[in-house]
Amino acid sequence: MDPPVSLNTINPKVIECEYAVRGEIVTLAQKLQEDIKSKPDAHPFEEILYCNIGNPQSLGQQPITFFREVLALCDHPAILDKSETQGLFSADSVERAWRILDQIPGRATGAYSHSQGIKGLRDIIAVGIEARDGFPLIQMIFLTDGASPAVHMMMQLLIRSEKDGILCPIPQYLYTLLQLPCMVELWYALIPTGWGLEVSELKKQLETSRSKGITVRALVVINPGNPTGQVLAEENQKAIVEFCKQEGLVLLADEVYQENVYVPEKKFHSFKKVSRSIVLKEMESSHLLARRAKALEDAFNKLEGVRCNKAEGAMYLFPRIDCLKRQSKLLKLRKRCTILPQEEKIPAIITRLTDFHNCFMDEFRS
């Protein structure tokens, strides 16, 4: 008979999971709060102020009215047609609620929807992300009810066995990751400009993990940082993206605090924007080489006695020169032509090649 379920037989990683919203300090604070409620004079202070978790509304900050009004109207659409609603809710909230409900099958927020989330809402989100990043968004959006379900979804996709691991920055807040058998701790580096993720450290931790038989599947990055509060520099982000590309890692970017940037010299850049910018730059570089290759190919084919095939790849053209016997000994010393010079210098190169070739042919023809 298997042992009954108890604290000794449940997942030990859950037992080890101690973080900001629990643990000894928070437990003591909750006890003191109960003391103050039952005996106001029990301690030389009147209240407990919780500074351990990013929950502003629990500390008295009022929620944004517009969001609450729209939620209320969507959850109880029957009041949208009532005359009193116009006096209780703003016109913007009413209009937005109607727009959202029109996207929901049956106009019922409690009904099951598409597994990725309501399509109309995903389309609206895609427009917002495109406006933020400047790139059209491929429709690969999944809506979740918070960060934790999104993390669970990714873990189900990535983790195949106890030998699979995730590189996770420490300190961090993604408590779900602490339950992984192979959660690889990756400490933030204190650099002159603030907290950052050094690629050299990433490589070291990756190599160490692999030497232990762990297959690292992904890298977690939280930007702006929680709890370190940093905003990663764009160059740092580019280096991280290149690292993930080279090592075949999935980049999991938590960017929930993107609107919370307080210093004028720092700007939030989404990892999606950074990665797409790198791809675009690579594409532009490829197109530049193609244009240079085409210009040189055309120039060679216009020369007397020269034939040049189309450049299909690499960085070179290799023209064939049909010549007289007395020219061949000299031409044997000549080799390939690269397409690497700067594009603005290509016309000058073509002019010089053409002039030289014409003089060369005239000299040996006579």
Predicted local distance difference test score (pLDDT) of residue 326: 57
Name the percent of the chain lying above pLDDT 90. Answer: 25
Measured distance CA(221)–CA(252) in Å, rounded: 6
Domains of the chain: 12-105 (1.10.287.1970), 113-141 (no CATH), 147-269 (3.40.640.10), 280-365 (3.90.1150.10)
C-alpha torsion angle, residues 98, 103, 106, 108 (rounded to 10): -60
Comparing 62-66, 120-124, 259-263, 341-345, the range with the smallest average pLDDT is 341-345
Q: Which of 12, 47, 41, 11 is nearest to 29 (CA)?
A: 47
Of 149, 181, 184, the residue nearest 167 (C-alpha): 184
Give the pLDDT confidence of 15-71 residue by residue, as tens digits: 666 555 567 888 898 899 999 999 888 888 888 887 777 777 877 788 899 999 999
Max avg pLDDT among 49-58, 209-218, 328-337: 209-218
Q: Which residues of 206-237 are buried (b: 16+ CB within 10 A; e: fewer)?
A: beebeeeebebbbbbbbbbbbebebbbbeebb
**Backbone angles phi and psi of 140, in degrees to 5:** -125, 55
pLDDT in tens, 257-306: 898 888 888 899 999 999 988 865 555 556 667 777 788 888 888 888 78
Q: Which two tokens stand for residue 307?
A: 């034939």
